[in-house]
């Protein structure tokens, strides 16, 4: 009797293992197909300026969109080898060893469409929240600024998606493939005038969606050592702040109750980089949301 039980137990466990292997094979090949998909996007020609005013504008955009943070020093280990999901470094945007060496069209393809030189989607590059929606003038200025960065030698290891990362990507729980989230047929205005209005705030607020969600309602913490992501709408604690309090919090980190913003909110870099008028415009837009 015992032998019969052990036999059937072995058959059940073996069958389950076979099913799991078959399921993972489906996950593997489905994610590989998405990773290797070639995007034949229409590259809109842009003027890439190099005058001092345009470079200053590009530097400002780089700061408020987080380019400076993520790609500092020729790129940083965004997910190191200890991460169970993926091994991934941010790109070295300079012309140094390990740099990307982009043409103007390559820059536009990456920043507007989230697609690399090989025609495949970039990995975990939040173009949809940072650069895809920029006006043509601002995108051109950003590219002009990035092209003149001094060379930094920084060669990164090959990126690698781990089994857990494949599963999360397969189930839509990990935003690995940037190009999948972008409307590649969209048209963008040549210029958007900076002004203290909710409409301009909406244009700027796209960058907040990467962390605070498409509806700016926040969400649970990304990890055990991280705080919950706060709601930015008028229904939240932050929504009760005045415009001046909002500006102060983003420029100094100090909330109206005297507490300091979490370091997971990059107020020391991105927050400080915004002008007062830009933050007031952001406030007007977010304050209108329910």
Residue 217 parent element (H or E): none
CB atoms within 10 A of CB 234: 14
Read off the pLDDT of residues 63-108 as tens digits, 9 standing for 90 and up: 999 999 999 999 999 999 999 999 999 999 999 999 999 999 999 9
Q: Average the pLDDT over 167-190 and give the result.
A: 95
Q: Average the pLDDT over 185-209 and give the result.
A: 96
Instruction: Give the burial string for 65-83 (b: 16+ CB within 10 Å, else e).
Output: bbbbbbbeebbeebbeeee
Read off the pLDDT of residues 231-267 as tens digits, 9 standing for 90 and up: 999 999 988 999 999 999 999 999 999 999 999 999 9
CA distance 277 to 290: 22
pLDDT (0 to 100) of residue 111: 98
CB-based contacts of 149, cutoff 8 Å, min separation 6: 93, 94, 95
For 111, 182, 226, 244, 257, the CA distances from 39, given in Å and listed in that order, are 14, 11, 35, 44, 49
Would you list the domain boundaries of the chain?
52-181, 198-287
Read off the pLDDT of residues 7-57 as tens digits, 9 standing for 90 and up: 667 777 877 888 999 999 999 999 999 999 999 998 988 999 999 999 999
Residue 22 parent element (H or E): helix 2-35
Q: Average the pLDDT over 166-179 and give the result.
A: 96
- C-beta separation of 169 from 28 below 8 A: no
pLDDT (0 to 100) of residue 139: 98
CA distance 255 to 263: 13
pTM over 0.75: yes
pLDDT (0 to 100) of residue 273: 97
Q: Average the pLDDT over 125-129 and give the result.
A: 96
pLDDT (0 to 100) of residue 13: 83
pLDDT (0 to 100) of residue 6: 65
pLDDT (0 to 100) of residue 8: 67
- Give the mean pLDDT of the chain: 94
Read off the pLDDT of residues 90-102 as tens digits, 9 standing for 90 and up: 999 999 999 999 9
Rg of the Cα atoms in the chain: 22
CATH class, range 198-287 = mainly alpha
**What percentage of the chain carries pLDDT values higher than 90?**
86
pLDDT (0 to 100) of residue 2: 65
């Amino acid at each position: 009797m015992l032998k019969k039980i052990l036999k059937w137990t072995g058959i059940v466990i073996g069958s389950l293992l076979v099913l799991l292997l078959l399921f993972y094979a489906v996950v593997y090949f489905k994610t590989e197909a998405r990773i290797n998909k070639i995007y034949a996007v229409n590259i809109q020609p842009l003027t890439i300026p190099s005058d001092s005013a345009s470079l200053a504008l590009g530097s400002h955009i780089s700061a408020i969109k987080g380019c400076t943070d993520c790609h500092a020093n020729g790129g940083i280990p965004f997910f190191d080898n200890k991460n169970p999901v993926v091994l991934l470094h941010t790109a070295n945007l300079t012309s140094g060893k390990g740099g990307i060496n982009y043409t103007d069209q390559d820059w536009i393809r990456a920043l507007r469409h989230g697609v690399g030189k090989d025609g495949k989607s970039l990995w975990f590059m939040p173009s949809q929240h940072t650069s895809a929606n920029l006006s043509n003038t601002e995108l051109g200025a950003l590219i002009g600024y990035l092209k003149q960065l001094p060379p930094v030698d920084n060669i990164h290891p090959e990126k690698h998606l781990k089994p857990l990362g494949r599963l999360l990507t397969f189930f839509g729980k990990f935003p690995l493939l940037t190009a999948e989230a972008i409307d590649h047929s969209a048209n963008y205005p040549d210029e958007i005038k900076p002004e203290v209005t909710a409409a301009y705030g909406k244009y700027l607020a796209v960058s907040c969606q990467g962390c605070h969600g498409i509806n700016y309602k926040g969400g649970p913490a990304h990890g055990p050592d991280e705080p919950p992501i706060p709601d930015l709408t008028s229904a939240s604690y932050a929504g009760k702040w005045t415009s001046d309090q909002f500006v102060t919090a983003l420029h100094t980190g100090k909330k109206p109750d005297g507490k300091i913003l979490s370091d997971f909110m990059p107020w020391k870099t991105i927050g400080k980089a915004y002008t007062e008028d830009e933050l007031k415009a952001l406030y007007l837009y977010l304050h209108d949301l329910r």
